[in-house]
């Protein structure tokens, strides 16, 4: 039988590298070449440390195996990538049997899908628990609110003097405000469907500027638009996107209420291809950045930003970012916040040209599959 060994190894999901006794690369399959860097760079017979640089974590592992003579196993080692974020890789390295003269075999396995799935699961569990709380609150609060409103309206109609009428109207108004809040919260409880249409992303961005113009207090804020006019349309829910951008831009404006400054809205196609579709391929992605020159966000509170009800504002609801994040995720996109204290904040929204389903979890034990994109935590 004439086996094509290289072909077989190249078909493996694991990367395989074999080094000779002087750590020269004797064998390398396609997956190993991908995880370690461009294949062209790693021509066989080159020394590993010369090909990758002595700093590459795999060199340290090989050194350890040489020293101890034992197999060395490492979980989620970060393999640096030239133009992208590092890939977490499980590595196991061992000396091949006596007859192989000190050759070392290294098996490497990409863990990024598993890692993003793990993050996705905990994020989803968080969202689900918000949903339970929201549903509970909505039920307990909405019904009595209806009663209060009705009673206040009756009072308003039967009031004999102006003051009573105004007081009753005040009750109605405040009840409506709470109702609105509960409705907003209900977004987490319902699996709202998106109403998809072709959207020029500049349309909802411009619309929000019109809306913001109606709000007072943003006197000395300059607005700059850096739109890429060649952006393709995306398939999205325009009303939801408008809500997202409004929430984010309003935060930016509020951050500059006292200091003044410039709000910059910019759009472009991203080249980094950070969103991954069900087939595991990078998806064409539009990036929208909302930048302000406000005070920035202290490190200490950054991880709490998108938690419902977290606010640092006297009259804030703490729902703006949570809701924005929810709708971005429903589109299969991502929300990232970068902030430098004293300089300002950049809120980055990545949206796929076509909505991606959020990852499906196959709950059968041992067969977790991922069919969606990954998201980094805000």
In the complex, least distance from residue 212 CB atom to ligand ADP, rounded to whole angstroms? 13
Please identify which residue in 297, 348, 351, 356 interacts with ligand ADP, judged by CB under 6 A: 297
Say how far apart CA 153 and CA 133 lie, in whole Å: 30
What is the Cα–Cα distance from 90 to 98, expressed in whole angstroms?
25
Cα–Cα distance, 97 to 199 (Å, whole number): 62
Q: Which of 238, 251, 339, 370 binds Mg ion (CB under 5 A)?
A: 251
Nearest to 145 by CA among 171, 167, 168: 171
Q: Does 378 bind Mg ion (CB under 5 A)?
A: no
Nearer to Mg ion, 253 or 289 (CB): 253
Residue 308 contacts Mg ion per CB under 5 A: no
Both structure tokens of 13: 């999901």
Stretch of 14-22, 144-152, 312-320, 328-336 lying at the interface with ligand ADP (CB under 6 A):
312-320
Q: 212, exposed or middle or buried, with CB in 10 Å at 0-12, 13-18, 19+?
A: middle
**Number of Cβ within a 10 Å radius of residue 293:** 20
246 counts as binding ligand ADP under rule CB under 6 A: no
Give, rounded to a whole angstrom, the gap between the first and last alpha carbons of the chain.
55
- Residue 296 or residue 320: which is nearer to Mg ion going by CB? 320
* Per CB under 6 A, 312 contacts ligand ADP: yes
310 belongs to the binding site for ligand ADP (CB under 6 A): yes
By a kind-dependent CB cut-off of 5 to 8 A, residue 7 interacts, out of ligand ADP, Mg ion, none, with: none
CB 59 to ligand ADP: min, Å: 42
d(CA 130, CA 317): 15
Could you give the CA distance from residue 190 to residue 329 in angstroms, rounded to a whole number? Answer: 14
Please identify, among the stretches 75-83, 113-121, 161-169, 316-324, the one whose residues bind Mg ion according to the rule CB under 5 A.
316-324
DSSP H helices in 20-111: 30-36, 48-52, 57-68
Give the shortest CB-188-to-Mg ion separation in angstroms: 16
- Chain residues binding Mg ion by CB under 5 A are 251, 320
- Chain residues binding ligand ADP by CB under 6 A are 247, 251-252, 255, 292, 294, 297, 305, 310-313, 316-322, 345
């Amino acid at each position: 039988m004439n086996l094509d060994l290289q072909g077989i190894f190249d078909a493996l999901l694991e990367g395989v590298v074999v080094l000779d006794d002087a750590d020269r690369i004797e064998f390398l399959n396609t997956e190993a070449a991908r995880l370690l860097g461009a294949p062209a760079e790693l021509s066989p017979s080159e020394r590993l440390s010369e090909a990758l640089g002595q700093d590459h974590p795999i060199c340290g592992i090989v050194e350890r195996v040489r020293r101890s003579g034992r197999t060395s196993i490492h979980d989620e080692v970060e393999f640096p990538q030239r133009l992208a974020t590092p890939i977490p890789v499980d590595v196991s390295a061992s000396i091949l049997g006596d007859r192989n003269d000190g050759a070392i075999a290294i098996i490497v396995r990409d863990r990024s899908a598993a890692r993003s799935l793990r993050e996705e699961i905990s994020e989803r569990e968080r969202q689900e628990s918000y949903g339970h709380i929201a549903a509970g609150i909505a039920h307990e609060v909405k019904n009595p609110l209806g009663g209060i409103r009705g009673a206040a309206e009756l009072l308003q109609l039967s009031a004999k003097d102006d003051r009573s009428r105004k007081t009753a109207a005040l009750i109605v108004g405040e009840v409506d405000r709470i109702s609105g809040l509960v409705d907003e919260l209900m977004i987490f409880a319902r699996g709202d469907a998106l109403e998809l249409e072709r959207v020029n992303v500049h349309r909802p961005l411009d619309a929000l500027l019109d809306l913001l113009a109606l709000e007072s207090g943003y006197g000395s804020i300059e607005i700059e638009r850096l739109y890429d006019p060649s952006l393709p349309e995306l398939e999205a829910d325009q009303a939801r996107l408008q809500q997202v951008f409004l929430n984010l831009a309003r935060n930016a404006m509020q951050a500059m209420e006292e200091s003044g400054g410039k709000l910059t809205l910019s759009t472009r196609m991203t080249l980094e291809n950070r969103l991954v579709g069900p087939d595991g391929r990078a998806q064409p992605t539009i990036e929208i950045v909302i930048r302000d020159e406000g005070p920035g966000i202290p490190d200490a509170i950054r991880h709490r930003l998108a938690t419902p009800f977290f606010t640092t504002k006297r009259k804030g609801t703490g729902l703006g970012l949570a809701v924005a994040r929810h709708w971005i995720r429903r589109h299969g996109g991502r929300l990232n916040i970068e902030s430098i204290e004293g300089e300002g904040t950049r809120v980055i929204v990545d949206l796929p040209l076509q909505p991606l389903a959020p990852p499906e979890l196959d709950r059968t034990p041992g067969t977790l599959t991922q069919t969606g994109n990954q998201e980094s935590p805000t």
